[in-house]
Amino acid sequence: MKYNIIPGIALVMMINACGNGKNDYDASGNFEADEVIVSAEQTGEIQSFPVKEGDKLTAGQSVGQIDVTIPTLQREQVQASINALKEKTHDPVPQTELVRRQLLVQEAQLQQQYRERTRTENLVKSDAATQKQLDDINALIVQLERQLSVTRQQLQLNNSNTSTQNRTILSEKAPLEKSLAQYAEQIRKGQIINPVSGVVLLKYALQGEMATIGKPLYKIANIDTLYLKAYVTGVTLPQIKLGQQVQARIDQGEKNYKSYPGEITWISDKSEFTPKTIQTKNERANLVYAIKVRVKNDGYLKIGMYGEMLINKASK
């Protein structure tokens, strides 16, 4: 029987502290962290995966590789098809290129004459230019517009047959490029990229095993900051608020404690019965509220470690 009572001792002490004030802390619980389970995004053999439990990883770090031979071959096949389509397309003949250059020059000349006409109109209004000067510019604009129209027609005629053929060929290119992007994404997902900075807590897979999409590979958590999840009674609840500075502490020796500054970051909006590890029915019937206290870890705090919270009397 004594082996069944021991797991409830910590929570019994916590309820006593919140309820009858015999102890010098206001709540107690265990430290936890925001844990992330990293899963495979591609199916294939795990070719490399040197991650070990306890390793410190950074966000964006490459930590392994899943075999992507099949999507790589598929991508090369699609790329070859795209290259073949490019060879079928026809570039404009040199004469067409000359006409295009001529068109650009004429367009630039016409834009310059438009600006000159606007300037001359303003000068005419202020008697700084004659009407004949404005008429000459308008005549030149009409001539340039006609030349530009003829050049455009000539360019369209030269490109009509080539453009029709090229459009037919290039219409086949769009779906191939989509397939190329899909295979490139599959290849990218074959690389195992660590999403967050932290320490590897558990490793679920080994090099040489077969990975499938969604298979857990390892668990990681940022342990630089831990959260003391504790429970307070309705008596203590009115004394706390979000953002409140409190004190967290852990055992250090038989009678000593190590204290840390903490901040309340979460208070449950629902009450719950005391966890069932409490042995007596009367104690399990107590309603408590879960809270989380954020504590900066100096390396001595561990996930799952027992801790206590004390309300800073001066901040109340």
Q: Which residues contact 279 (CB under 8 A, 6 or more apart)?
A: 4, 5, 8, 12
The answer to whether 217 touches 210, Cβ cutoff 8 Å, is: no
pLDDT in tens, 153-211: 877 776 665 666 666 666 778 888 999 999 999 999 999 999 999 999 999 999 999 99
- Give the pLDDT score at 5: 34
Residue carrying structure tokens 């069944």: 4
- Give the pLDDT score at 192: 98
- Tell me the C-alpha distance between 144 and 151, whole Å: 10
- Tell me the C-alpha distance between 212 and 197, whole Å: 24
Higher pLDDT, 97 or 135: 135
- Three-state SS at 133: helix
**Separation in Å, CA 22 to CA 16, 25, 96, 113:** 7, 9, 96, 96
**What phi and psi values does residue 211 have, to the nearest 5 degrees?**
-100, 145
**Residue whose C-alpha is closest to residue 217's, from 67, 63, 61:** 63
pLDDT in tens, 97-117: 777 888 888 888 889 999 989
Return left, alpha or beta for 277; rule: phi > 0 is left, psi -120 to 50 is alpha, else beta. Answer: alpha
- Three-state SS at 44: strand
- Give the pLDDT score at 90: 53
Categorize the per-residue pLDDT at 313 as very low, low, confident or very high, splitting at 50, 70 and 90: low
Assessment of whether the complete model's pTM goes beyond 0.85: no
Give Cα 282 to chain centroid, integer Å: 48
Categorize the per-residue pLDDT at 62 as very low, low, confident or very high, splitting at 50, 70 and 90: very high
- Domain range summary for the chain, segments of one domain joined by +: 23-59+195-315, 76-188
Higher pLDDT, 271 or 181: 181
β-pairing verdict for 245-251 and 191-193: unpaired
Residue 283 has pLDDT above 60, yes or no: no
Residue 227 has pLDDT above 80, yes or no: yes
Pick the CATH number of 23-59+195-315 from 2.40.30.170, 2.30.110.10, 1.20.1080.10, 3.40.640.10: 2.40.30.170
Rounded mean pLDDT of 280-300? Answer: 80
Give Cα 28 to chain centroid, integer Å: 35
- Give the tokens for residue 260: 């840390």
